Structure 1
Amino acid sequence: MLPSSAAPRLEMVDIVKWVAIAIQLFGYGLTGLNIVPGNIFAFLIGIFLWFAVGVMWKDRAIMVVHVGAFLSLLFGYLNAS
């Protein structure tokens, strides 16, 4: 048996990452059910949280891809209106 100090510690970034994943999956489900704009709002929250993960990890690639995803959703939403 491992000592209690050897147990993996849940970091804030892990919590944010898993919440973001759950929200993104929820957004995909809303898209599959054609629930608009609820799906867009779910994706926007997920994008924001993944951007935060990129900041916490100091990972510019994650930040850039989610800025691109945000802009794509924003322009698509504005053009659909």
Structure 2
Amino acid sequence: MSSAQIAFVLKWLASAIQIIGYTATAFGWTPYNLYFFLVGVLGWFLVGVLWNDRAIMLIHIVALGAMLAGMSQ
């Protein structure tokens, strides 16, 4: 599988997982919502790496750090 195909699958999988995280938040399913968001954010960070897109990497590494900091409290 090429890196373009991997990125395609990964971006849609990460997007679906983040949508599940939004749904979990809406229904008050904590802390599961955070776990879904962590996986989705990490997935999108990896897409940024595959695309060599620093903007995507930046926003998702900052989001990941913020989430981990918040979860550690």
Indicate whether the TM-score tops 0.5.
yes
Match of 1:49 among 30, 43, 68: 43
Match of 1:71 among 35, 50, 65: 65
Residue of structure 2 in register with 1:22 after alignment = 16
Q: Unaligned 5+ residue runs, structure 2?
A: none
Q: Unaligned 5+ residue runs, structure 1?
A: 1-9
Pairing 1:13–2:7 present: yes
How many residues align structurally? 70
Q: What is the aligned-residue identity percentage?
A: 41
Deviations 1:17-75 (A, max 9, x none): 00000000000000001111100000000011001100000001101100110111111
Root mean square deviation, CA, Å: 1.1
Structure 1 or 2, whichever has the larger Rg, is 1
Structure 1 ranges of 4+ moved more than 2 A: none
